[in-house]
């Protein structure tokens, strides 16, 4: 059985040095592609979720790992819904689909995807840094110079709130 993405990040966090973290991330990314993709979503300034910031209101039964309804690995194929602005979905429908996904995930993975969505993965996993990701996956992120230019061109952050379903 494969580790959940949240379990992989927990293992990376427990490593004593960056070389061990790098090797673990590379090995796990070969086994589970979602591990690397979520790092890209978190650190890539070109990628933005079409969802309000923060954790939406959702109820989730705490089930043991492996007994949840779905996993991030299974749900990953649907992420275009929250990333592609060309989808013909209303804002409320997009948010409702996100909340439904969170309700089916393991509670750790649900909160993990909320951190990634808001580009705050480092709050829970401080040793998973942009520098580590750049060293581990050389072609994953755009050059840092472009990143700074994108931040300047974005303007003010959105101040949206989650709908109450």
pLDDT in tens, 123-146: 999 999 999 999 999 888 888 765
* pTM to 2 decimal places: 0.83
Average per-residue pLDDT for the chain: 86
Residue ranges of alpha helices (H) inside the chain are 5-14, 18-31, 33-43, 72-75, 80-83, 91-104, 107-117, 121-124, 130-136, 144-154
List, for residues 28-81, the tens digit of each pLDDT value.
887 888 999 999 999 999 999 999 999 998 887 776 666 677 888 899 999 999
Q: What is the mean pLDDT of residues 144-155?
A: 60
Q: What is the pLDDT of residues 79-92, one digit of tens each?
A: 999 999 998 999 99
Provide the pLDDT confidence category of residue 165 given band limits of 50, 70 and 90. Answer: very low
């Amino acid at each position: 059985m494969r580790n959940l993405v949240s379990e992989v990040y927990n293992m990376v966090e427990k490593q004593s040095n960056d070389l061990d973290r790098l090797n673990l991330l590379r090995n796990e990314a070969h086994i589970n592609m979602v591990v690397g993709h979520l790092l890209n979503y978190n650190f890539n300034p070109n990628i933005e979720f079409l969802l309000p910031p923060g954790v939406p209101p959702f109820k989730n039964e705490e089930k043991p790992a492996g007994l949840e309804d779905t996993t991030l690995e299974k749900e990953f194929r649907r992420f275009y819904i929250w990333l592609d602005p060309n989808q013909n979905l209303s804002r409320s429908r997009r948010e409702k689909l996100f909340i439904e996904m969170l309700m089916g995930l393991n509670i750790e993975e649900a909160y993990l995807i909320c951190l990634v969505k808001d580009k705050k993965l480092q709050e829970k996993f401080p040793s998973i840094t942009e520098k580590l990701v750049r060293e581990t996956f050389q072609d994953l992120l755009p050059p840092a110079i472009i990143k700074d230019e994108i931040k300047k061109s974005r303007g003010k952050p959105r101040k949206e709130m989650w709908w109450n379903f």
